[in-house]
Structure formats: C-alpha cells, structure tokens
Amino acid sequence: MAVALPIYLDNHATTPCDPRVLEAMVPYFTEHFGNAASRSHAFGYRANAAVEKARTQLGQLVGADPKEILWTSGATESNNIALLGTARARRKRGTHVITVATEHKAVLDPCSQLEKEGFRVTRLPVDAGGRIRLEDLEDEIGPDTILVSVMAANNEIGTLQPLAEIGHLCRERGVVFHTDAAQATGKIPLDVQEMHIDLMSLSGHKFYGPKGIGALYVRRGRPWLKLDPVMYGGGHERGLRSGTLPVPLIVGMGHAAALCAEEIDSNALQELARLRDRLWAGIRERITDVAVNGTMDHRLPNNLNVSFHGVEAEALMMAIREVACSSGSACTSATLEPSHVLRALGVDGEATHTAVRFGVGRFNTEAEIDWVVNHLAEKVPMLRAMNPLNEPGEGGTDLRTIRWSDSLS
C-alpha cells in the first residue's frame, strides 16, 4: 500500500493538533473572543464558562477537581512553578529536594537554580531500564526533605516510574510529590488521588492539543498546598500564574483531554502499542546488531528508542529524511556529549551516539510502519559500510574508548 511522505514518528516532541480540537477552538478566536476575566458582559461570561469547562475536562482525565487545575503556558512553566514555588514556600521546613538523574531539563535546570539559592538537591540514579529504586528514594528522604520530583514517563526512552508507590512513600513522610506528566498524559491512565500526587505538570501539545498551553495540578485539601508565585501581575489563577488566559488554547487543551479520556477507555492505546511492537519486531528481523534502550516492561505504549550499532544517529536521520524521528542523544556538533538519560542507564558511549527515538501517534498506520522498517533495512547496512568507525583496526576510532566528561549538560 502506498503511503504519503514524509512519515511522522516524532510524537514525543509534539503531536499534531487533532482536527476535532481545532474545530472546537475556532469559535473562540472569532465569535467568542471575550476575556475570561471580564465578568461584566456576555462575552466575558461565555469565555469564562469555556475555561471552566476545560478545567473539568482536564480534571476528569487525571482524577482532579477542576479547582485544582491552573493554566500555564506549558509543562516547562508548570515545572518551574511547582519546583521553585514549593521549595521557596517551604524553606523554613527544610532545604532538601530529591529528583532523578534522567529528568527533563525543565526539571533539572530549576533544581540547579534551587542549588544556587542554597537548597540541597539529590539526583537519584536509575537501573538499567531507567526506573528508580524505591529503597534509594526511601534512604534519601530525611527530616529536611521538602519535595520529591519524579517524572511519570521519560521523554527519551519512555520508561514509566512507579508513581503510586512513590506517592504513597512521600505522603507517609509528609513530603510534597511532584511529577512531570507531559509525556504520560493521555497515553496511560493517571489518577492524582490514587497515586498520591500533590503537583502534576501537563502540556497540551503532547496529547493532540495546541502548543502554548499547559496546566499545573495543585492539590487542595487540608492542609492546602501553598506555593510562592514565580511571576506577578494581576493575581490570575489563584495568584500563582498572572496573565490574560488564552481562551482558544484552553478550550483546545480541554477538548484534547476529553478525547484522550475516551481513548483510554477504548482500544486506542493498545493499537499504539501494537504499532510500536510491529516497528521493533521489523527492525530486529531485518537489521542486525540493534538494541532497545530502556525497559520494555514499564514503557509508554508508543515509545521505541533503538541503538543501531555502527551508525551515527545524526547520519541515519539524514539518510531517512522521509521519516521524522529524533536522535536519542543530546549531542551538539561542538561537544558530541551523549544523552544524559542514556548515560544514566549505563549505556556505553558508542550506543548513545547511535540511538534514535521513534514516537508512534494516533494518526500513524500499519502501512507507514512497514515502510519505515523497509527504509531502515535499506539505509542502515549502507551507512555501516561507509562508516570507518566500524573498523577501528584500520584507522577508525572506537567510540567505546572515548572518555566523556562528567557533565550531564
């Protein structure tokens, strides 16, 4: 069967906006354009009602009360509010923050900022599959620990962390638990109550909504979870995120959440896993010397991160321009430093430089997966034959002998 090129398999970077989501948004750009904070006329009432409906839709997806949903510009801002806001508000109780070595930079960088402000940050190691060991977390939590931040699903290797167990441990110890759920939302069931989550970061464009909109779940109850704001100017969103609300984007994120809630109750997620597994089975069958990075037992249903030994990831992506995917390494042309995630797993230098991430999405087809497998089976052997690194005895360089810096930047 013919397929339309190029093929998009980079759904961890962003997802296409679902046409049904766009349809729901359009009236709020043109007809219902009011400011949700303008409560003195019908235009503002209608906008505010749309914002509150979206809160309900997103809350239903993650098991939250609508009043616990705060709108932000995306998961990066949500992470900053959660980490900086919580740590600064609880400084009198302690100055110890725990996170994980494989977190997204949107968590690691705010943690580095906290260190500059005098906080102590522990970055937990992970096992070969990318998961933390609960006993490590338990050992690190002390009387001065105020915050634990562990992402729900890794953006590179798709590894799922044991959120319920982490949340239970944090709740027992009286420690605030934050999770960056940008990659997991809409792809696995999430329930902030059952998982004892206090703060959760969400991003609309990761689950077929628009870019530029995100949310932060902030637990209510007794006691209330208090955060210091990181920006000021009007007191919107319970004083934690000032600024005029982007009503069309909020409507889109809410509608995208409602569609994901329907999919979780259907076979849609199983279909994602089936296509992902078909891709991996085809690669293993047609191409030698490949390895999956991360565990397959606790993984997002749409994620596949593969090292094609003997082929630089950047070279492979150039050779398969018809396929949108991502390098599994965070290299730059200047430093050639490998991915901090893969290094934390203990993956050797050569394998980190040959890793490619594929992200299957809602709109991918079986025919596209088969086309990608055939294309890879053609290009990988060709690139290996051209690569002098495959023959270090004849003047090439064996990447496994290179000593990388200790920096995770």
Encoded tokens for 328: 């599994």
Is 17 catalytic? The answer is: no
Q: What is the pLDDT of residue 406?
A: 52
Burial 139-165 (b: 16+ CB within 10 A, else e): eebeeebbbbbbbbbbbbbbbbbbbee
pLDDT digits (tens, 9 = 90+) for 184-211: 999 999 999 999 999 999 999 999 999 9
- Which is catalytic among the residues 17, 170, 325, 331? 331
Answer whether 276's CB lies under 8 Å from 41's CB. Answer: no
Q: What is the pLDDT of residue 240?
A: 85
pLDDT digits (tens, 9 = 90+) for 262-296: 998 888 999 999 999 999 999 999 999 999 999 99
Q: What is the pLDDT of residue 232?
A: 87
Position 405 pLDDT exceeds 90 = no
pLDDT digits (tens, 9 = 90+) for 31-43: 999 998 888 899 9
Domain edges within the chain: 7-14+267-401, 32-264
Position 102 pLDDT exceeds 80 = yes
- H-type alpha helices, 12-148: 19-25, 27-30, 42-62, 75-89, 105-116, 134-140
Global confidence as pTM = 0.93
Residue 392: pLDDT band by 50, 70, 90 thresholds? low
pLDDT digits (tens, 9 = 90+) for 152-190: 999 999 999 999 999 999 999 999 999 999 999 999 999
- Nearest Cα to Cα of residue 201 among 187, 188, 189, 184: 184
Please give the CATH number for the structural domain made up of 7-14+267-401.
3.90.1150.10
CATH architecture assigned to 32-264 = 3-Layer(aba) Sandwich (3.40)
Q: What is the pLDDT of residue 384?
A: 96
